[in-house]
Amino acid sequence: FNFSSLGNKGYGRAHDWCRLQRLQLDSMQMGGGHGFGDWWDRYHEKYPEIFALQPDGTRSGFPNPHNAKLCESNPKVWELWLENVAEQLANDPNLTVFNASPNDGWASGHCVCENCTAWDDPDGEPRMFNWFKQNEPRPALSDRDVTFANKLAEMLEAKYPGRGYRVLMMSYGHSRPVPVKARPAPNVIMSIVANFYGRTGLVDRGSTRGDTYRRQFEGWAKIVPSMLWRPNTGSPAGWQQGLPDLSIQQTIRDLKDVAAAHCEGIYIDSTWEHWATQGPQYYVMAQLVWNPNADAEAILTDYYTRAFGPAADGVREYFEEIEKARMDFTAANGEAGVFSFPKLYTDDLLKASQVHLDRAAAAVPTDSLFAKRVAFVQAGLTYSKMQMENIRLMEGYWKKPDPAVADRVKQNWAAIEQHVAAHPYAINWGPVRPTTPRMAGLHPDSTPPKTKKPRANDLDLN
């Protein structure tokens, strides 16, 4: 729930709820992102040698400035990183964890100098690397990145002895495989970007061995002194778009397994705060993160009973039927994109869902608090129906543009905006506005969607 953390001023609107659920009582500050996004702009003119050597002999910052890779073996990088730590501490003396994770664009632009390459283990999993007009298989970067983190951790402890400061390093992209020989130092925290949140069997799309994210996570758990689980969620059934993309039972198993692996913390990228469609999942996540040994079934029963009273059975049946359909859909389709969603949210499923909520509404007095809560959930179902109509219309529109269809979709979007505004917190409008990347292709004024063959293991799309 990073969007509603104490310091986040982005999409989050549930700061009070997160506080009451103890989600803001962090004992360790941790970032979910990459560590050097501004370094090209800050340093490339004065210190061009700190950036990754490319096969063509340049240090060009490929693939782009924000994702430029570093020459991790260069002592100047270590020196500048420590200077940045000092600057961070001057701004916030309470910090104890400092990010050293390579920039995104995980397959592109990594350093090929002799010293960096020497940190790679030749027995590491072969992975496909990209540079400007060149592709080549090379060993995974896990040993390199751990060695880099260990060097920084050694220098950090030498400069700040006894303060318990630690280095944060991601296992992400080509550093997802377990390192062959390198082992993280005691003051290195590995942030494991293993995307099995709600999708246990999915395969790392960069793996030439077909390793699943869960297998990679389990491998790291055996060798690290401390780690975080930092999954990307993707949007296999509309998680980002505000649809009831529920994987409650799978998430329960995931959280308990992660806790059993002695994980120190969790950073999920991202929870978008669509409470009317995903509320039960949020609640069980919050409870299990605080106490992973808790009885999840008892948590859910308590949630439905206290929230909905006599309407509890109808609301629970509504969410559970959608969850089952969602799990079957994602098992068959992976992450196929928004224009595949009508295959899940069919007219039959939406009609059955409405029957459950009608039964729930009939079970409580119309002027009761329980009735208001059922209406809140109904707002999520109504939103889902409206979006399904838009998705179907826009799929046809991109094949054959029609001004009448465009007008209809624009009217629908106006109605959706009014509906969301009338039901605060039901759907988080910020992330689902038609201008956002998550809703690409769902408005006639947006960029047409790219044609792409669905891949079940294509999960780094956040």
Lowest mean pLDDT among 16-25, 78-87, 126-135: 16-25
Assess whether pLDDT exceeds 60 at residue 128.
yes
Average pLDDT of the segment spanning 350-372: 99
Q: What is the pLDDT of residue 262?
A: 86
Q: Which helix (H) or strand (E) holds 34?
A: none
The pLDDT mean for the chain works out to 94
* In the predicted structure, residue 434 carries a pLDDT above the cut 90: yes
The SS3 of residue 380 is helix
Tell me the pLDDT band of 240, cut-offs 50, 70 and 90: very high
pLDDT value of position 451: 55
Q: Decide: 69 and 102 in contact? Cβ < 8 Å.
A: yes
pLDDT at residue 462 tops 80 = no
Q: Which amino acid is at 49?
A: E
pLDDT(5) > 90: no
Question: Does residue 455 carry a pLDDT above 60?
Answer: no
| Proportion of the chain above pLDDT 90, given as a percent | 86
Q: Is the pLDDT of residue 437 over 50?
A: yes
Q: What pTM was estimated for this model as a whole? A: 0.91
Average pLDDT over residues 119-131: 98
pLDDT at 456 over 80: no
The confidence score (pLDDT) of residue 103 equals 96
Q: What are phi and psi of 191, to 5 degrees?
A: -100, 105
Rounded to an integer, what is the distance from CA 216 to the centroid of its chain?
A: 17
Q: Which residues in 397-431 are b (16+ Cβ under 10 Å) and which e? A: beeeeeeeebebbeebbeebeebbeebebbbbbeb
Spell out the residues 6+ positions from residue 194 whose beta carbon is closer than 8 angstroms to its own. 171, 176, 213, 214, 216, 217, 220, 229, 231
